[in-house]
Amino acid sequence: MFEVDINTLFTSKKYKLSEKRLFLTAVVQKTIYSKNIFPKNSDLYNYIYLFESLYKLDEKDKFKPYLYDSRTQLAARICRLIISKDDLEVEKELMEFHAKLYGADSLSNTDKKIKKDNNSSLLKDIINNRNREE
């Protein structure tokens, strides 16, 4: 399997913005499908809230609870949101968030290297660190 450094994908000048948007949707799908990062579908609520808040979705546009029953449906809706909103500033923030989430690890090896602590989650740690920086 080929390995990709997410930081390189998102910061490289050789890729057009449209290509980076596709990379972002691929990374988002990989994240949603990862049982190592989110063992249960209900663990995805905080992650999806990140998208809802960055895109400033109205109450009627927020993701309904039934979507959390299927990671495939959830990933499709998030990717459609990214493509349809076409918001450069939000996409840059999402790229930065995912680059931090995956660190310098390659996309193909990340699931093996992330260790889950029962008292904490990687997503919570990143969000908490981000809030402290602001």
Q: 84-102: per-residue pLDDT in tens? A: 988 889 998 998 898 888 8
- Whether residue 74 is contained in a domain is answered as yes
List the structure tokens of 88: 């450069």
Q: What is the CA radius of gyration of the chain?
A: 14
Number of structural domains found in the chain: 1
**What is the spatial distance between Cα 81 and Cα 113, in angstroms, rounded to a whole number?**
29
- Please report whether residue 1 resides in a domain: no
Q: Which two tokens stand for residue 86?
A: 């076409």
Domain assignment of residue 89, given as a range: 6-133
Asked, for residue 18, whether it belongs to a domain, the answer is yes
- Write down the pLDDT at residue 103: 76
Quick: pLDDT tens for 9-45.
777 778 888 888 888 999 999 999 999 999 999 999 9
Q: What integer pLDDT is reported at residue 11 of this predicted model? A: 74
Compute the distance between CA of residue 125 and CA of residue 101 in angstroms, rounded to an integer. 10
Cβ-contact 23, 101 below 8 angstroms: no
Residue 130 banded pLDDT, cuts 50, 70, 90:
low
Instruction: Check: pTM over 0.85? Answer yes or no.
Output: no
**Within a domain: 10:** yes
**Any domain includes 129:** yes
